[in-house]
């Protein structure tokens, strides 16, 4: 079967690469993936693969195989990021200030490839394979909404798999780990409300910029002085917006950032402390503030049985040198966590090469040389669960 799958993958690979370039050239933001989902539906439709009606809008959920059980579900994300692409590629983004800087073009192309392969060997299945092309992974965590809408029901999956391109790992290698793999990713905004004045008369102002700076400094104490060194915690202020003129102290300043952790109880404590610090500093300096806090991404744990299954597939098909163990989890966020809350599943990393620039970088490009291994991994992992 491995040879049969590889032969089919080799046949369709040029088409998959072409699809990847087409998707890369036409990136769309979260929940606006209309052209991308239309392309996905067109490719699946031409292959005779059945699709469900959208659950939340631009999602595409398709199925190969029959019977209610067993089922394995494969997932890819489709949305892009608000960045100006600097790759200079012939197929660089044609959409202003939007690019596939996280590799979702590659994820979508690989899942299309897996669907095309499995549709050709459907008679080898004893159950079904579900393909979930998910919108809105970035920032809005639409995976939560898709799962809540019932995308994983009828039938429920016995196992779930997802692949994410990973810069720094050798091309085509696959890595993962059991247990914690991605952190909760909370988002906060603190709007400091002071009192503006002329830059020459700061004594007549309640300076929101100075107050915001003190808040930024104080937040770092939560990590260094209020949290055990044994706990994983990141608080990063990534946004500070205030003022428009060099000689005017503004009325307001916005301090925004993200909080990352694995322990939900720690997360609750940190949220409370950020608000207490912001309110307290503002009050002490005669200002007020508005506090906004969102928790779109929950911590994600990989199932041991699914990780071990994936490891066996890699070592058998690609060789032991192509399987890598992550020594520690990432502090990044991933809404695939909602898929694996109630079902066994795992996220796997696909090597993009040692020289690949990092994710969310305007020069990032998914490595086409890794597509074949990615497609074969998805197909053969599915066959271990639902193959004859």
User: Following DSSP, what letter does each residue of 17-75 receive, concatenated?
Assistant: HHHHHHHHHS---TT--HHHHHHHHHHHHHTT-EEPPPSSSS-EEEEEE-SSSSEEEEE
75-87 burial code (b ≥16 CB/10 A, e <16): bbbbbbbebebeb
Closest residue by Cα to residue 67 from 152, 150, 126: 126
Please report which helix (H) or strand (E) contains residue 291, including its range.
Answer: strand 288-297
Cis peptide leading into 92, omega within 30 of 0? no
- The per-residue pLDDT for 69 is 78
Rounded CA separation 311/371 (Å): 18
Residues in the chain: 388
Question: Alpha-carbon distance 325 to 149, whole Å?
Answer: 34
Given a contact cutoff of 8 angstroms between Cβ atoms, the answer to whether 214 and 192 are in contact is no
Q: What is the pLDDT of residue 80?
A: 98
Q: How do the domains of the chain map onto residue ranges?
A: 2-182+299-386, 184-297
Question: Which fold does the domain 184-297 belong to in CATH?
Answer: Alpha-Beta Plaits (3.30.70)
| Tokens at 278, concatenated | 């912001």
Distance CA 312, CA 323 (A): 9
Residue with tokens 């092309």: 133
Partnered with residue 197 across adjacent β-strands are: 249
- Distance between CA 6 and CA 49 in Å, rounded? 20
Q: Alpha helix locations (H) across the chain?
A: 2-25, 34-46, 104-120, 142-148, 208-225, 264-284, 304-317, 371-386
Distance (Å, rounded) from C-alpha 16 to C-alpha 116?
A: 10
- CB hemisphere CA count around 29 (13 angstroms): 9
pLDDT in tens, the chain (388 residues): 889 999 999 999 999 999 999 999 999 999 999 999 999 999 999 999 999 999 999 999 999 998 677 999 999 999 999 999 999 999 999 999 999 999 999 999 999 999 999 999 999 999 999 999 999 999 999 999 999 999 999 999 999 999 999 999 999 999 999 999 999 999 999 999 999 999 999 999 999 999 999 999 999 999 999 999 999 999 999 999 999 999 999 999 999 999 999 999 999 999 999 999 999 999 999 999 999 999 999 999 999 999 999 999 999 999 999 999 999 999 999 999 999 999 999 999 999 999 999 999 999 999 999 999 999 999 999 999 998 7
The owner of tokens 């100006």 is: 84
The answer to whether the beta carbons of residues 30 and 135 sit under 8 Å apart is: yes
Report yes or no: 188 and 222 within 8 Å, Cβ to Cβ.
no
| pLDDT (0 to 100) of residue 212 | 98
- Cα dist. 257→146, 239, 274, 292, 296 in Å? 26, 6, 11, 11, 13
Q: CA triplet 251, 253, 256: central angle to 5 degrees?
A: 160
d(CA 36, CA 25) in angstroms, rounded, equals 11
**Pair of tokens at residue 337:** 């966590």
Rounded to 10 deg, the angle between the 208-225 and 264-284 helix axes is 150
* Parallel/antiparallel/unpaired status of strands 184-193 and 233-241: unpaired
What's the gap between Cα 301 and its chain centre? Answer: 14
**Same fold for the domain at 2-182+299-386 and the one at 184-297?**
no
Fold classification of 2-182+299-386 is Aminopeptidase (3.40.630)
Question: Tell me, what's the pLDDT at 45?
Answer: 98
Residue 388: predicted pLDDT: 73
How much is the pTM? 0.94
């Amino acid at each position: 079967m491995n040879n049969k799958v590889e032969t089919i993958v080799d046949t369709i690979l040029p088409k998959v690469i072409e699809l990847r370039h087409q998707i890369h050239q036409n990136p769309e933001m979260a929940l606006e993936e209309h052209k991308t989902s239309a392309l996905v539906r067109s490719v699946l439709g031409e292959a005779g693969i059945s699709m469900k009606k959208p659950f939340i809008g631009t999602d595409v959920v398709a199925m190969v195989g029959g019977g209610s059980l067993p089922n394995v579900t494969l997932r890819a994300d489709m949305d892009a990021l608000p960045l100006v692409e600097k790759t200079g590629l012939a197929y660089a983004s044609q959409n202003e200030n939007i690019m596939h800087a996280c590799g979702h073009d590659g994820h979508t192309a690989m899942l299309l490839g897996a669907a095309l392969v499995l549709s050709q060997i459907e008679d080898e299945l004893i159950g079904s394979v579900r393909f979930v092309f998910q919108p809105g992974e970035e920032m809005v965590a639409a995976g939560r909404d898709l799962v809540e809408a019932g995308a994983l029901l009828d039938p429920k999956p016995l196992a779930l798999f997802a692949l994410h391109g990973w810069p720094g790992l050798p091309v085509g290698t696959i890595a993962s780990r059991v247990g914690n793999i991605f952190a909760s990713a909370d988002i906060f905004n603190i709007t400091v409300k002071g009192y503006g004045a002329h830059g020459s008369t700061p004594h007549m102002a309640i300076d929101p910029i100075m107050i915001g700076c003190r808040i930024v400094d104080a937040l770092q104490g939560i990590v260094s002085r209020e949290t055990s060194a044994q706990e994983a915690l990141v608080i990063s202020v990534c946004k500070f917006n205030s003022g428009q003129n060099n000689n005017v102290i503004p009325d307001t300043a916005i301090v925004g950032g993200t909080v990352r952790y694995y322990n939900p109880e720690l997360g609750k404590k940190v949220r409370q402390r950020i608000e207490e610090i912001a309110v307290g500093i503002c009050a002490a300096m005669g200002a007020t503030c508005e506090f906004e806090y969102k928790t779109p991404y929950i911590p994600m744990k990989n199932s041991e049985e699914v990780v071990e299954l994936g490891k066996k597939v890699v070592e058998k098909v690609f060789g032991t040198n192509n399987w890598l163990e992550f020594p520690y989890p990432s502090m990044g966020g991933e809404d695939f966590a909602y898929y694996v809350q109630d079902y066994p599943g795992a996220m796997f990393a696909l090597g993009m090469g040692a020289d690949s620039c990092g994710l969310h970088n305007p020069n990032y490009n998914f490595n086409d040389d890794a597509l074949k291994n990615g497609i074969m991994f998805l197909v053969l992992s599915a066959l271990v669960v639902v193959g004859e």
